[in-house]
């Protein structure tokens, strides 16, 4: 099936879609986004993504966007693409106007951009063997809980990881606390207890993260929503990343040092099985 785009409701092949050079998302990063995947023709935790979108829009003072219409357009292009396993990218910018930091007056029409691409399964070897990461100082802005399109620090950290032969980077705050990876949340397991950063302004609280917390507690484990220290992470029994595409992805080495025995741990493996079973049981 074709990869498609929708720009303000106009559906085209993805390589024919375009926006104005005056788009404020392009010239100022003035916009928000969401990434939603589908399993077996069903958008995963769609309502939760839309709830987060509403929160992002409110913070950037774009509550006037008709989210019900956004939902309709997402479903329209998703159905047109007819991809059972798809990645839907949604971006809403403040619209098109000559470059100026101030919001345009009068209010302009926002630009709504949606793309639907194939969502290939992650290489099973990554789950079986685990990944390696490095740490990076967290130099991002102070409200990363808002899903804005300003991702340059994440791009730089990700590239630093790739240049070092690693899969991803984990942000460490100035006070030594573990925050998150470049596009995933971080869980640290110590003595059977899961630690993950609380959902505040210092991380983007992932939809998958929240789902996993419920599944972890339902399985009888303990979760503490508190930030682990870097030392706690480096001496953990297990570490894994969670996210829309990462699911439950074991981290076996950080900064060249193995986590425990340097192999994916049994708890992470079991949780991945629980998560995938939950996906199937809920019709995804």
Spatial contact of 93 and 51, defined as CB atoms under 8 Å apart: no
Instruction: Clarify whether 147 is annotated catalytic.
Output: yes
Q: Name the active-site residue from 87, 147, 158, 270.
A: 147
d(CA 53, CA 248): 23
Question: How many Cβ atoms sit within 10 Å of the Cβ of residue 70?
Answer: 20
Q: Is 136 in a helix, a strand, or coil?
A: strand
d(CA 48, CA 200): 17
Question: How many Cβ atoms sit within 10 Å of the Cβ of residue 88?
Answer: 25
Task: Categorise residue 52: left if φ over 0, alpha if ψ from -120 to 50, beta otherwise.
Answer: alpha
Spatial contact of 241 and 218, defined as CB atoms under 8 Å apart: no
d(CA 211, CA 176): 27
CA 171 to chain centre: 15
Which residues are 254's β-sheet partners? Answer: 133, 257
CA 49 to chain centre: 10
Contacts of 159 (CB under 8 A, 6+ apart): none
Contacts of 192 (CB under 8 A, 6+ apart): 221, 222, 237, 267
- Residues with catalytic roles: 147
């Amino acid at each position: 099936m074709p990869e498609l785009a929708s720009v303000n409701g106009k559906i085209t092949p993805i390589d024919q879609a375009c926006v104005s050079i005056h788009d404020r998302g392009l010239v100022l990063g003035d916009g928000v986004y969401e990434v939603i995947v589908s399993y077996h023709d069903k958008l995963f935790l769609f309502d939760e993504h839309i709830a987060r979108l509403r929160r992002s829009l409110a913070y950037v003072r774009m509550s006037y966007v008709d989210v019900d219409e956004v939902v309709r357009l997402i479903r329209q292009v998703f159905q047109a693409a007819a991809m059972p396993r798809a990645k839907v990218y949604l971006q809403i910018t403040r619209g098109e106007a000559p470059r100026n930091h101030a919001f345009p007056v009068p209010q302009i029409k926002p630009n709504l951009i949606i793309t639907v691409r194939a969502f290939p399964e992650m290489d099973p070897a990554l789950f079986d063997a685990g990944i390696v990461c490095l740490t990076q100082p967290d130099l991002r802005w102070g409200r990363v809980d808002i899903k804005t399109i300003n991702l340059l620090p994440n791009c730089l950290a990700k590239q630093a990881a790739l240049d070092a032969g690693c899969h991803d980077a984990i942000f460490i705050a100035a006070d030594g606390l573990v925050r998150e990876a470049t596009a995933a949340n971080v869980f640290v397991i110590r003595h059977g207890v899961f630690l993950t950063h609380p959902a505040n302004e210092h991380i983007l609280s992932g939809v998958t993260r929240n789902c996993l917390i419920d599944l972890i507690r339902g399985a009888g484990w303990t979760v503490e929503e508190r930030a682990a220290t870097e030392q706690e992470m480096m001496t953990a029994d297990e570490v894994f990343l969670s996210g829309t595409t990462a699911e439950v992805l074991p981290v076996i080495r950080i900064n060249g040092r193995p986590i425990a025995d340097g192999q994916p741990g049994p708890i992470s493996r079991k949780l991945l099985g629980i998560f995938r079973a939950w996906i199937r049981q809920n019709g995804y």
